[in-house]
Structure 1
Amino acid sequence: MTKRIAVEQSLTNVTQALREKGYEVIDFKSAGDLNNCSACVVTGMDSNVMGMQELSAKAPIIEASGLSADEVCREIEERVQ
């Protein structure tokens, strides 16, 4: 079964890398129910000042800021079984 990953639209390099590894990648904003995703990748720009995420998903949230596309892929592979 293909794992579905929601990725913020600005992270095109991450989207491409995940697709090359066989993941189904969908746009984060149009993902709808994030609970149907295996993981979510965000830039971290949406974090509020207190560092709290406003996301409520059962899937792991991976903050891509400061990480290469390969590092994000490794994070996903470690967290998604």
Structure 2
Amino acid sequence: MTSKFDKASFREKLESSGEFPMLYMFKFIVLKGKETEVSALFPKNEISLKPSSGGKYISTTICAMMDSADQILNLYEQASEIEGVISL
């Protein structure tokens, strides 16, 4: 069963977590070969990549300075269009 993402609730949590701009950590798991699509969303940020033990997936971690909750939500929406991406 998949649960629907509650965008309004997430925005509220982001806005109450501190003052913007803030350093925000994004974490995604993607199929091997798709990590470049995640990297393209963060062209000015350093990205940490870690392959899964089986080598089928790549864990990506990106720390980026974000100006607003909407900017964070927009990046998650763009990432959700990548085939097989899992946002953490």
Give the TM-score normalised by structure 1.
Answer: 0.30
Q: Which has more strand, going by share of residues?
A: 2
Which structure has more RCO (C-alpha within 8 Å, separation ≥ 6)? 2
Larger radius of gyration: 2
